Structure 1
Amino acid sequence: MSKDLDRTRALWRQIATVIEQRIEDGTYPVGSRVPSVVELSTEFGVAAATAQKVMAHLKREGAVRTEVGLGTFVADRPVS
């Protein structure tokens, strides 16, 4: 588990916040690919289901878009 995460709050929300911050600070610019569920799972040391929940949340919020067979990318309208 990443040192920045704690077990007192929902892990998926904490990870979603990290990804949103990376989008805002330009680590993941508009149109760039974001880590896959497997990559997030590995980076944060969480179950794939937790990483999937992060991605579903980011997609619902409009922060990312999915292209079948290609991956997930920062949406044209990033999180503000």
Structure 2
Amino acid sequence: MSIDRTRAMWPQIAAVIIERIRNGTYPPGSKIPSVVQIANEFGVVNSTAQRAMESVRAEGLTRSEAGMGTYVLRPEETATA
């Protein structure tokens, strides 16, 4: 997926992360890149990357652990999330 810099970035970044989760690039239980890493990868500010990550979490695909990172939910976790 290519990024269109003429449109809002955070929904596009969220879509890329969701696609990576769905295609197994980020498998269940795995830690995904930090907000800073996502911001650097896409050339955006941290707040834009944070908004994208919040959107992915709102989809019920990830969980965050304070000080530990963000992890892809396992199928058994999504049933109760």
For the superposition of Structure 1 and Structure 2, which TM-score range results when normalised by the shorter chain?
0.7 to 0.9
Query: Post-superposition shift, 1:8?
Result: 2.9
Give the Å deviation of 1:63: 1.0
Count of aligned residue pairs for this structure pair: 75
* Matching residue within 12, 24, 31 for 1:26: 24
Where in structure 2 are there 5+ consecutive unaligned residues? none
- Unpaired segments of 5 or more residues in structure 1? none
- Tell me by how many angstroms 1:75 deviates: 1.2
2:8 maps to what in 1? 10
- What is the Cα-based RMSD across aligned positions, in Å? 1.4
How far apart, in 1, do the equivalents of 2:11 and 2:31 lie?
20
Q: Deviation per CA, 1:13-61: give whole Å up to 9, x if none.
A: 1110100010011000001001110000000000101000011111111
Find the aligned partners of 1:74 and 1:9 in 2 and give their Cα distance.
27
Q: Report percent identity of matched pairs.
A: 52
Residue equivalent to 1:44: 42
TM-score, with structure 2 as normaliser: 0.86
TM-score normalised by L of structure 1: 0.87
